[in-house]
Copies of this chain bind each other. A is one copy, B any other.
Amino acid sequence: MPSLPHVVSRLRPPDFDAGSVWLVGAGPGDPGLLTLHALHALSEADVVLHDALVSPEILALAAGARLQPVGKRAGGARTHQLRINQRLIGLARQGLRVLRLKGGDPLVFGRGGEEALALAAAGIPFRIVPGVSAAIGGTASAGIPLTHRMLARSVVCATGHDLRGEAPDVTRFAGADTLVFYMGLRHAGALAEQLIEAGRAPDDGVAFVANATMSSQSVTLGTLDTAASVAATLSPDDPTLIVVGPVVALRDMLRPLQQTAPLTMLPEPMTAAGARR
Bound state CA distance, A119 and B258, in angstroms?
Answer: 10
Closest partner residue, chain B, to A145 (CB atom): B113
Is the Cβ of A269 less than 8 Å from the Cβ of B154? Answer: no
A32-B36, A36-B34, A153-B159 given; A139·B107 CB < 8 A: yes
Is the Cβ of B33 less than 8 Å from the Cβ of A36? Answer: yes
Q: How many copies does the complex hold?
A: 2
Q: Which of B132, B172, B264 contacts A175 (CB 8 A)?
A: B172
Is the Cβ of A10 less than 8 Å from the Cβ of B266? Answer: yes
- On chain A, the number of residues with a Cβ less than 8 Å from chain B's Cβ atoms is 108
Q: Any chain B CB within 8 A of the CB of A218?
A: no
Of A11-19, A189-197, A220-228, A230-238, the stretch lying at the interface with chain B is: A11-19
Q: Distance (Å) between the CB of A215 and the closest chain B CB?
A: 12
Bound state CA distance, A7 and B5, in angstroms?
Answer: 8
Q: Distance (Å) between the CB of A4 and the closest chain B CB?
A: 5
Bound state CA distance, A84 and B17, in angstroms?
Answer: 44
Is the Cβ of A14 less than 8 Å from the Cβ of B162? Answer: no
Bound state CA distance, A43 and B36, in angstroms?
Answer: 14
| A262 neighbours in B (Cβ, 8 Å) | 14
Q: Distance (Å) between the CB of A39 and the closest chain B CB?
A: 6
| A106 neighbours in B (Cβ, 8 Å) | 140
Q: Distance (Å) between the CB of A21 and the closest chain B CB?
A: 10
Is the Cβ of A27 less than 8 Å from the Cβ of B35? Answer: yes
Q: Any chain B CB within 8 A of the CB of A52?
A: no
Q: Distance (Å) between the CB of A131 and the closest chain B CB?
A: 7
Q: Any chain B CB within 8 A of the CB of A219?
A: no
| A131 neighbours in B (Cβ, 8 Å) | 132
Is the Cβ of A12 less than 8 Å from the Cβ of B263? Answer: yes
Q: Any chain B CB within 8 A of the CB of A51?
A: no
| A159 neighbours in B (Cβ, 8 Å) | 153-154
Give me 19 A-to-B residue pairs in the complex whose CB atoms sit less than 8 angstroms apart, sorted by A's number. A1-B43, A4-B13, A4-B36, A32-B129, A34-B36, A35-B35, A35-B36, A36-B39, A37-B263, A106-B140, A108-B146, A112-B145, A113-B250, A126-B257, A129-B140, A150-B163, A154-B158, A154-B170, A172-B173
Q: A32-B40, A108-B136 are in contact. List 14 more A-B contacts (CB 8 A).
A: A4-B13, A4-B39, A7-B63, A10-B266, A11-B264, A11-B265, A14-B261, A31-B36, A33-B130, A106-B140, A107-B136, A114-B149, A117-B250, A132-B132
Give the top 6 A-B pairs by smallest Cβ distance, nearest first.
Answer: A172-B175, A113-B145, A154-B158, A14-B261, A32-B37, A173-B176
